[in-house]
Structure 1
């Protein structure tokens, strides 16, 4: 597999930190290890080009070692240069860095920063791997042409002012990734086997409900066709009065609500979707349908007013949720 290292750089974000540090003293302590927490940043040069397979193998090794020592961070690779941030207890991080310095797979290992920190910048992400377009990095404030001309240990050492903007960018990218990709209603990778089996059983039930809902939608469409045909096939032909029109609208809305319910059902076997917006939209459509087909001659004003208020409240809620997304 050929990789254009001039075009892409690869970053690896660290193992999940199970306990977020809360201590914020001048010399913060890693709550799990009783050590002062530090952030160590270094850059080095590889002795050969690394393929995606090589990088993935490195990820597995990093995950195993870092998890055992409660170390998190991020690794950026491009054009034969590694840029890595290590966060955790001072003793554990320094011990790991000494091991990294002796690794024969790279050279020119240059320590860029070693800072006391009050909390981790990359605490929660599992080990990952993705491509970053260097053109995006060149747009980061302070980076300019650094990525193209000075992405090496000497360049980082001479331009330490770009480290913070680079880390801020990478941290924001990881936050976006987690927000977009981490949500799953019935995860199949739960740590508890019993929960996994329950989730698998529920997923099978949801799939069956999904098939039934598809059948209901198809039958609802046939009902709409039948309703229209009955209205236009009776005298006066091809004419629909107001009551018939409202009944037809009700049939259409029933189909749309069925589709929304189908989406709500399938969301439990899909990833990357938070169902709050779908639930609100379904409730909004259901109440709107009821209002459209109300027989106002037999309804109390209070009932109509209350329905209208609920409709407005749901509409505002939907707008706020959508705006937040």
Structure 2
């Protein structure tokens, strides 16, 4: 199985419609056997995709070609023996939301993730919380 972690920014100044992205992503990922975790704060995306190598490659290619993303940067790409994320999940930070609750939600969803993946998401969330 392949796991890719990336970060990207929204391509324009308009807020990201995370609900619409989630709906389409869940459909595509279920169809293709891809799981992972997405953190979107309205301006940036941090995501892990995992599953069969060809399916993950196709999903990542779709993301790279999506005009809503810019500056897509691969943070890690590795083979994994087993899924670290059992099903598709997403954390979403809304302005004025309870940051402590969000950090707790992220920690819970990352319990089985590798230390590097967990540290990347937790660090990103803490930085965004401070912003």
| TM-score, normalization by structure 1 | 0.30
2:79 is the counterpart of 1:116: yes
**Backbone CA RMSD of aligned residues:** 2.8
Cα distance, 1:135 vs structure 2: 9.3
Residue in 1 that maps onto 2:61 = 98
Relative distance call for 1:168 and 1:120 in structure 2 (3 A) is: farther
Residue in 1 that maps onto 2:119 = 165
CA distance in 1, matches of 2:83, 2:35: 8
Cα distance, 1:92 vs structure 2: 0.8
Structure 1 residue runs without a partner (length 5+): 1-36, 138-160, 170-325
Residues 116-135 of structure 1: matches in 2 within 5 Å? 116-125=79-88, 127=89, 130-131=92-93, 133=99
Residue in 1 that maps onto 2:3 = 39
Q: Which has the higher contact order (CA 8 A, sep 6+)?
A: 2
Secondary structure, in 3 states, of the residue corresponding to 2:25? helix
Residue in 2 that maps onto 1:77 = 40
2:15 is the counterpart of 1:50: yes
The structure number with the bigger radius of gyration is 1
**When the two structures are aligned, how many residues end up with a matched partner?**
107
User: What's the CA shift string for 1:155-183, capped at 9, x where partnerless?
Assistant: xxxxxx964324589xxxxxxxxxxxxxx
CA contact (8 A) 2:39 2:90 kept: no
User: What's the CA shift string for 1:201-242, capped at 9, x where partnerless?
Assistant: xxxxxxxxxxxxxxxxxxxxxxxxxxxxxxxxxxxxxxxxxx
CA contact (8 A) 1:56 1:129 kept: no
User: What's the CA shift string for 1:59-92, capped at 9, x where partnerless?
Assistant: 1000111111000001111261110100101111
User: What's the CA shift string for 1:250-275, capped at 9, x where partnerless?
Assistant: xxxxxxxxxxxxxxxxxxxxxxxxxx
Secondary structure, in 3 states, of the residue corresponding to 1:83? strand
CA distance in 2, matches of 1:91, 1:112: 19
CA contact (8 A) 1:43 1:82 kept: yes
2:23 is the counterpart of 1:60: yes
The structure 2 residue matched to 1:89, chosen from 48, 52, 59, is 52
| TM-score, normalization by structure 2 | 0.68
Residues 178-217 of structure 1: matches in 2 within 5 Å? none
CA contact (8 A) 2:38 2:47 kept: yes
CA distance in 2, matches of 1:168, 1:129: 12
Relative distance call for 1:78 and 1:162 in structure 2 (3 A) is: farther
Runs of 4 or more consecutive aligned structure 1 residues displaced over 3 Å after TM superposition: 127-132, 134-137, 161-164, 166-169
CA contact (8 A) 1:42 1:83 kept: yes
Residue in 2 that maps onto 1:318 = none
CA distance in 2, matches of 1:80, 1:116: 29
